[in-house]
Amino acid sequence: MSGQAQGRQCLCERLGPAFSDKEKRKGGEDHSAYLGGRGMRRFPSPRGIINTIVKLAKTCILRLTVCKLYFILSDKVANGGASMWCELSQGNFFDEFQMEGVAAEHNEIYLEFVPENLWRALKTAQSAKAVKIKLTNKHCPCLRVAVELPSLSSCSRIVTHDIPVGVIPRRMWNDFREPSMPDFDVSIYLPVLKTMKSVVERMKNLSNFIVIEANLSGEMNLKIETDLVSVTTHFKDLGNPPWASEDGCQSSGQGRDLESMAEACIDIKKLQQLLAGQQVNPTKALCNIVHKRIVHFILLHEEVSLQYFIPAIA
Amino acid sequence: MKCVIAGGNVKVLGRAVHSLSRIGDELYLEPTESGLSLRAVNSSRSAFAAFLFAPLFFQLYEPGSAGPDTELFRCKVHMKSFLGVFRSLPSLEKSVGKCLILLKPRASRLVLQLHCKHGVTKTHNLAFQECERLQAVFDTQRCVSRLCAPARLLAEAVVHFPPTLAEVTLGTGTSGRISLRNYVEDDAEPSKTMVTELWLAEDEFQSVAVAPGSHITFCLKEFRGLLSFAEASNLPLTIHFDKPGRPVIFTLDDTVLEVHLVLATLSDLDSSSQCPSTNGVSHLPAPPDDFGDDLESYMAAMETSEGCSEGPPSPTFPLRTPQPAKSKPQQQEEEEEEEEEEEEEGAVPGTPPHKKFRSLFFGSVMTPGRPGPATTQEVLAEDSDGES
């Protein structure tokens, strides 16, 4: 999947008004990319989402379009069948952002990278005066994150992290399409994630699988069962999100018995990893359950939306 | 030997022991007229640390008496045992008022006694072994380059590198900037390894007297132990270094304390190609002098150099060659050590940790400024009884 940078692929983000305009160069050269700058303090850092991704997988796909960034984990065997789709508007994070994809009609870039590397680079950037990100191809494609740090001397400290990335060729882009919303049986808001996390962590010590069940009356149960013990944690009054389908009618759930539980038995580790990565409470957190098929988690923060799919164990 | 350490100095001693524990498994105690010296060396002989506490550091210091033909008594103890006494630094600070160290050769016990609050006394009796003097050969005067920085600066610098990173390369750019970069082994795939580089301005250091375009690669793990001691004691750290392959010496100086850490460095494969100009090209260029706050011009400088840089992904530090088979003594451990050290007398130290760094030279001993008869300071050799 990795390969050399193709054609005029480049990622370019310019700094804010404090810096002079940089003339855009044409013809196969890499453009400089800058992220943030002094305006960065107004904006949250993408570190929060990277922190989540680090827990979920060893490699991740970054898709760049003109307006948005996407972090994608596809449902390969390596991920245990789980998949993730996360999108952010670049305007929420970057003072300026410029990119140029492979060709005008495919103005996108897909990169494969190791989230841990990016996480470490952004950790440096916590107290930065300026951060610039650039896609380069010196010996192999790299995301160069250059961070300018304050220092006591007249010159700033500069830290650069060269994160090796793999450029995904266009013929493989179809592997990473946005997953469609499943036809769920029940949709329910999640309990406070911190509580859910501590429950799941304890259950993880007892069993490898967990059953999530919920109904349209705002009730959710987390159950584990082994030969020796079964444990169930009950949550009530969670609320069910009102989904309106495109034609204006209520979507699935219409006519469904409000007390009837939809359930799915999933790998507890996947759930624990998802919850472990959440440092901040999302604005909205809910899950959609397709009975005995899949659980679809949606976590919405102000600037980031995250969807995580965990298939049910047969 | 008998000495008493009181008050806040107990914690300093504890921190020193923690630092030494990062180096080796045995703690060497050597009382001298100029103070008590605690030393350690690692198993591959590529790292050596010595803490010398002057008599003023102690409330009471009696090194013992040396006869006309005998020296002051030296011994070594298991690091774990000694460290165990000082394991919890916060509780040392809170509850220990005084520490007594008593070495009675005839009773064959090293006594460490902590006098704590509420009348509690904790007495530790440690077994020890007699040993010869442990001393690495190094000479800070012979080092071409010297940097002095507050410990905080270096601590802030290494924080950007992962805690597990083994080796780091310290370099001097042509415009006077100092760089730190993680060392990537040559057998690691360049397309998989993240490279982190940090540039520090010259004026962040207290003093800089370096040969431009020089670099050395040393083990970061062993350095971190000294760095945390320096940071806690708020002492400036001086780094003396020379060509790649020659050891790097870190020193801390105080009125009552002198610390030396000597680490072997990676030697270059191809010493003939070490002219500073080629270093400049194959490196990332140092940020230009008029850098100021302008990250943009730095990025521009990087771009212009990219076109002309070539060569292997880890440009400046090609693999060290496998050293000639004549001296691979560190690979046989156990009791051979004493003979090995004698073989290595005068051998140039080569390359880095476990499989790479060869041992430092443990030849004959004179450290600069140290008084002492040369005749008794022979090649260090382990006790002929071998390791316990």
- pLDDT, tens digit (0-9, with 9 covering 90-100), for A102-125: 666 777 888 899 998 888 888 887
Residue pointed to by tokens 């005008």: A104
Start-to-end CA span in chain A (Å): 30
**What are the tokens at A106?**
């495919």
**pLDDT higher than threshold 90 for residue A90:** no
pLDDT (0 to 100) of residue A40: 36
Residue A281 to chain B, least CA–CA distance (Å):
28
* Facing B197 at nearest CB: one of A114, A152, A160: A160
A-chain residue closest to B198, CA distance: A159
Q: Which B positions 145-204 lie with beta carbon below 8 A of chain A?
A: 160, 162, 177, 190-204
**pLDDT higher than threshold 90 for residue A290:** yes
DSSP B253-297: E-SSEEEEEEE--PPPS-GGG--HHHHHHHSPPPPPGGGTT-HHH
DSSP B327-377: --GGGS-GGGHHHHHHHTTTPPP---TTTT--PPP--S---TT--S-TTT-
Asked whether the beta carbons of residue A148 and residue B295 sit closer than 8 angstroms, the reply is yes
DSSP state of B301: H
pLDDT (0 to 100) of residue A313: 87
How far, in Å, are A241, B61, B62, B180 from residue B5 at the CA level?
68, 9, 12, 38
Specify the range with the lowest mean pLDDT, choosing from A53-57, A98-102, B294-298. Answer: B294-298
Alpha helices (runs of H) in B143-219, residue ranges in sequence order: 151-158
Instruction: Give kind and range of the element (H or E) at residue A225.
Output: strand A220-225
Q: Which residues contact A180 (CB under 8 A, 6 or more apart)?
A: none
Asked whether the beta carbons of residue B299 and residue A156 sit closer than 8 angstroms, the reply is no
Beta strands A98-100 and A10-12: pairing type? antiparallel
Asked whether the beta carbons of residue B295 and residue A152 sit closer than 8 angstroms, the reply is no
Residue pairs spanning A and B at CB distance below 8 A: 104
Residues of A with CB under 8 A from a CB of B: 2, 15, 19-20, 22, 29-30, 32, 34, 114, 117, 120-121, 124, 129-130, 132, 134, 136, 138-140, 144, 146, 148, 151-164, 166
Beta strands A304-311 and A294-300: pairing type? antiparallel
DSSP state of B260: E
B192, A164 contact by CB (below 8 A): yes
A168, A113 contact by CB (below 8 A): no
* Facing B194 at nearest CB: one of A30, A146, A163: A163
Choose, out of B161, B294, B299, B304, the residue to mutate when testing the contact with A (most A CBs < 10 Å). Answer: B299
DSSP state of A218: S
Pick the closest to residue B8 from B111, B82, B92, B117 (CA basis): B92
Q: How far is CA A295 from the centre of its chain?
A: 17
Query: For residues A222 and A263, what is the distance between their CA atoms, to the nearest angstrom?
Result: 10
Residue B170 to chain A, least CA–CA distance (Å):
14
Identify all chain B residues contacting A130, using CB atoms and an 8 Å cutoff: 293, 295
**What are the tokens at A204?**
């993880």
A-chain residue closest to B196, CA distance: A161
Asked whether the beta carbons of residue B190 and residue A153 sit closer than 8 angstroms, the reply is no
Query: For residues B184 and B111, what is the distance between their CA atoms, to the nearest angstrom?
Result: 45
Pick the closest to residue A86 from A311, A282, A264 (CA basis): A282
Tell me if residue B250 falls in helix, strand or coil: strand
pLDDT, tens digit only, all 388 positions of chain B: 899 999 889 999 999 999 999 999 999 999 888 999 999 999 998 999 999 999 999 999 988 776 665 667 788 999 999 999 999 999 888 999 999 999 877 777 899 999 999 999 999 999 888 888 888 888 888 888 999 999 999 998 998 898 888 899 999 887 778 899 988 887 777 777 889 999 988 888 898 998 888 889 999 988 999 999 999 998 999 999 988 888 999 999 999 999 999 999 988 764 433 333 333 233 344 444 333 344 555 555 555 544 333 322 222 222 233 333 333 233 333 333 333 333 333 333 443 444 445 455 554 333 333 333 333 344 455 455 544 4
Tell me if residue A308 falls in helix, strand or coil: strand
Residue A123 to chain B, least CA–CA distance (Å):
8
B249, B186 contact by CB (below 8 A): no
Specify the range with the lowest mean pLDDT, choosing from A69-78, A101-110, A160-169, B340-349. Answer: B340-349
Pick the closest to residue B173 from B153, B202, B206, B143 (CA basis): B202
Residue pointed to by tokens 């259950």: A203
φ, ψ at A169 (rounded to 5°): -70, 155
Asked whether the beta carbons of residue A156 and residue B192 sit closer than 8 angstroms, the reply is no
Query: For residues A205 and A208, what is the distance between their CA atoms, to the nearest angstrom?
Result: 8
Size of chain A in residues: 314
Pick the closest to residue A308 from A25, A83, A2 (CA basis): A83
Specify the range with the lowest mean pLDDT, choosing from A4-13, A159-168, A283-292, B296-305. Answer: A4-13
φ, ψ at A250 (rounded to 5°): -65, 140
Asked whether the beta carbons of residue A152 and residue B287 sit closer than 8 angstroms, the reply is no
The verdict on B206 touching A (C-beta cutoff 8 Å) is: no
Identify all chain A residues contacting B296, using CB atoms and an 8 Å cutoff: 15, 19-20, 22, 32, 34
pLDDT (0 to 100) of residue B97: 92
* Facing A162 at nearest CB: one of B194, B198, B291: B194
Tell me if residue A36 falls in helix, strand or coil: coil
Mean pLDDT to the nearest integer, A58-76: 86
With 0.80 as the threshold, say if the pTM is over it.
Answer: no
Choose, out of A98, A120, A160, A162, the residue to mutate when testing the contact with B (most B CBs < 10 Å). Answer: A160
DSSP state of A171: G
Q: Which B positions 336-375 lie with beta carbon below 8 A of chain A?
A: none
For residue A72, list its beta bridge partners. Answer: A61, A85
Q: Which B positions 301-320 lie with beta carbon below 8 A of chain A?
A: 302-303, 306, 309, 312-313
B365, B377 contact by CB (below 8 A): yes
Asked whether the beta carbons of residue A154 and residue B201 sit closer than 8 angstroms, the reply is yes
* Facing B293 at nearest CB: one of A138, A156, A162: A156
Q: In what order do the strands lie in the sheet with B121-126?
A: B60-62, B2-6, B96-104, B109-116, B121-126
Query: For residues B74 and B351, what is the distance between their CA atoms, to the nearest angstrom?
Result: 31
pLDDT (0 to 100) of residue B118: 92
B-chain residue closest to A156, CA distance: B293
Start-to-end CA span in chain B (Å): 23
The verdict on B291 touching A (C-beta cutoff 8 Å) is: yes
Mean pLDDT of chain A: 77
Residue type, B207: S
A97, A144 contact by CB (below 8 A): no
A158, A146 contact by CB (below 8 A): yes
Identify all chain A residues contacting B204, using CB atoms and an 8 Å cutoff: 151-153, 157
Mean pLDDT to the nearest integer, A14-39: 28
Query: For residues B216 and A274, what is the distance between their CA atoms, to the nearest angstrom?
Result: 42
Query: For residues A274 and A285, what is the distance between their CA atoms, to the nearest angstrom?
Result: 12
pLDDT (0 to 100) of residue B197: 92
Cα dihedral B174, B178, B184, B189 sign: negative
Choose, out of A138, A152, A163, A167, the residue to mutate when testing the contact with B (most B CBs < 10 Å). Answer: A138
Identify all chain B residues contacting A34, using CB atoms and an 8 Å cutoff: 295-296, 299
DSSP A259-297: TPPEEEEEEHHHHHHHHHT--S--SEEEEEEETTTEEEE
φ, ψ at B167 (rounded to 5°): -125, 145
- Count Cβ atoms below 10 Å from residue B255 Cβ, excluding itself: 8
Q: Which residues contact B190 (CB under 8 A, 6 or more apart)?
A: A139, A140, A164, B184, B312, B313, B314
DSSP state of B186: T
Beta strands A83-89 and A98-100: pairing type? unpaired
Query: For residues A29 and A8, what is the distance between their CA atoms, to the nearest angstrom?
Result: 7
pLDDT (0 to 100) of residue B80: 94
B-chain residue closest to A137, CA distance: B306
For residue B115, list its beta bridge partners. Answer: B98, B121
**What are the tokens at A57?**
């997988």
Identify all chain A residues contacting B290, using CB atoms and an 8 Å cutoff: none
* Facing A164 at nearest CB: one of B160, B191, B302: B191
Mean pLDDT to the nearest integer, A200-229: 93
Identify all chain A residues contacting B294, using CB atoms and an 8 Å cutoff: 19
Asked whether the beta carbons of residue A132 and residue B295 sit closer than 8 angstroms, the reply is yes
Specify the range with the lowest mean pLDDT, choosing from A231-245, A286-300, B185-199. Answer: B185-199
Of the pLDDT bands very low, low, confident and very high (cuts 50, 70, 90), residue A77 is low
- Count Cβ atoms below 10 Å from residue A241 Cβ, excluding itself: 14
pLDDT (0 to 100) of residue B383: 52
Specify the range with the lowest mean pLDDT, choosing from A85-94, A180-189, B70-79, B320-329. Answer: B320-329
A52, B327 contact by CB (below 8 A): no
Asked whether the beta carbons of residue A155 and residue B201 sit closer than 8 angstroms, the reply is yes
